[in-house]
Amino acid sequence: MKVILNTDVKGMGKRGDVVNASDGYARNFLFPKKLAVPADKQNLNELSARKSSEAHKKELEKAAAIKIKEKLEKEILIIKVKAGENGKTFGSITSKEISENIEKVYKENIDKKKIVIKDQIKTLGMHVVELKLFEGVNARLKVNVISE
């Protein structure tokens, strides 16, 4: 019997997959626990509509990420910190601080988990930070750390 999985089922497949299951397994386990629905015409149409909707939503998110990338790569983010005489900052610049400054200056909400800092920023000057905005869309943001 062909069924459409509502959730990930170990040994069967992922959510949204159309798989073959034995009649007894489907009727006695998958259907009562709402883990799957029969793969009839109506459910298959709903599945295809849901998948096309998700694909469209992903395309819109990717387009928005590309716009943000183009906007941020042109700019230089300036962060003011307290620093000693030798040009070293008191503490390091974190991804949270960079995220807050992007929000404040450019009005773009970037999650701090999407900001990759290769080496800790502990000195004044220009640094490059990578932003993982979307699958396959990475931006390189220039951060200029200056003394207050």
Residue 25 pLDDT > 90: yes
Q: Which strand (E) or helix (H) includes residue 51?
A: helix 41-74
Question: In this structure, what DSSP letter does residue 114 have?
Answer: G
Reference 139, options 128, 123, 125; nearest CA is 128
Question: Strand 76-81's sheet: what is its strand order?
Answer: 76-81, 137-147, 125-134, 115-116
Residue 120's pLDDT is 86
Residue 91's pLDDT is 84
Residue 60's pLDDT is 94
Residue 44's pLDDT is 94
Instruction: Let me know: does 113 contact 134? Beta carbons within 8 Å.
Output: no
What is the model's pTM? 0.71
pLDDT single digits (tens) 98-148:
999 989 988 888 888 999 998 888 888 899 999 998 988 899 999 998 888
Residue 29's pLDDT is 94
- Position 14: which residue type? K
Mean pLDDT of the region 10-23: 93
Residue 86's pLDDT is 83
Domains of the chain, start order: 2-61 (3.40.5.10), 63-147 (3.10.430.100)
Task: Give one word for 136, left, alpha or beta, with left for phi > 0 and alpha for psi -120 to 50.
Answer: left
**Rounded to whole angstroms, what are the CA distances from 103 to 82, 93, 94?**
21, 16, 14
pLDDT exceeding 90 applies to what percent of the chain?
61
Instruction: Let me know: does 83 contact 124? Beta carbons within 8 Å.
Output: yes
Residue 22's pLDDT is 94
pLDDT single digits (tens) 36-94:
999 999 999 999 999 999 999 999 999 999 999 998 889 898 988 888 888 788 888 88
